[in-house]
Amino acid sequence: MEQCKESSRLYEGKILNLRVDQVQFEDGTSTIREVVEHRGAAAIVPILEGDMVVLVRQFRYAANSELLEIPAGTLEPDEDPEICALRELEEETGYKSKEILKIFECHIAPGYSTEKIHFYIARGLVRTEMKTEEDERIKIEVITIKEALDKMRNGQICDAKTVCGLYRALELL
């Protein structure tokens, strides 16, 4: 077990904070831990009739690449993850869901981040309209689940949350 002896916040941002903690081990030695604080997120695997999945394609600045992903977004303060998942589904894809099921949750990078992602499957989708944020440039791609698997295998889908969410959803379908 590690015990925090001193903590300092180096950065406070819109979606994350950065702090540096001095921690002490049970044997008395100490080290530094850099921690990215994040409110958490929700991700959703939208399934259409005929085993089709709705994905979003967008440029990710940090990865310097356009990625194919499942819809997802950061939780608002004190927001229920299911509400976040449904909001992100409609904002990013223009679909509402009649049926949603939580399939798992996980820490995305526990070595340095507090972020936990909650994953859902959405079925019974009804088309509405996209309501993207001002800074989002999203294109929708609807492909078969088999195509999604092929894209994961050949590296065309390489986003960790998307790979995890799709494999778990496939396991349950």
Find the catalytic residue in 6, 134, 147, 171.
134
**CA distances from residue 72 to 22, 24, 113 in whole angstroms, order as listed:** 33, 36, 17
List Cβ neighbours of 55 (8 Å cut-off, separation of 6 or more): 68, 69, 70, 140, 141, 142, 143, 148, 157, 162
Is pLDDT at 39 greater than 80 in this prediction? yes
Model confidence at 93: pLDDT above 80: yes
pLDDT score, position 134: 77
> pLDDT of 139-171, one tens digit each?
999 999 999 999 999 999 999 999 999 999 988
pLDDT (0 to 100) of residue 136: 74
User: Which residues are within 8 A (CB) of 164 and not within 5 positions of it... i.e. 6 or more apart?
Assistant: 106, 119
Question: Can you give the pLDDT at residue 137?
Answer: 86
Q: Is 134 a catalytic residue?
A: yes
Nearest C-alpha neighbor of 41 from the set 115, 110, 99: 115
pTM: 0.92
